[in-house]
Amino acid sequence: MKIVDSPNSDERPSGVEVTLVILHSISLPPGQYGGDSIERLFTNRLDPAAHPYFKEIVELKVSSHFLIRRDGEVVQFVPVERRAWHAGASSWRGRSRCNDFSVGIELEGTEEDAFTDLQYQALTELVRRLQSKFPIRDVAAHSEVAPGRKTDPGPHFDWARVLASLGLTSA
């Protein structure tokens, strides 16, 4: 696993357990895969002159805990014990501030494209490792914790495949 330290995190509230995984999708520039633009965004080093879209997002201070690239490579940006800034205004099962009790996993992709077999394999392995260390009870889409504001990972994400591989019956 590759580790790239992101400054976009802070301490979790005292006594809060990590019980939720939130799945996201991202591609930078939009619709393009590969390169280091996601890493640059999550480490506050994005060059606004590199692509017109970057001018819109260069000031964002965001990061997930993990990124799973198209080839299955896993990149960690924030230790799971810390709170990454990935979900924004959010709630899950009546609890607000999902960043406090969740792990954010970005899948390199768009809402228009299917994710790769290697991504699903890496995701399953990563979530199983997290389940062995933390009382993870739920896996949710960013769209589920921020409805009306977010739509990722999108309609091409194979929930049945993921849930079956994790031995879960529903998200």
Amino acid at 134: F
Catalytic pick from 106, 108, 111, 125? 106
Active-site annotation holds for 106: yes
SS3 sequence of the chain: CEECCCCCEEECCCCCCCCEEEEEEECCCCCCCCCCHHHHHHCCCCCCCCCCCHHHHCCCCCCCCEEECCCCCEEECCCCCEEECCCCCCEECCEECHHHCEEEEEEECCCCCCCCHHHHHHHHHHHHHHHHHCCCCEEEEHHHHCCCCCCCCCCCCCHHHHHHHHCCCCC
b/e map of 103-128 (b: 16 or more CB within 10 Å)? bbbbbbbbeeeebbeebbebbeebbe
Active site residues: 106
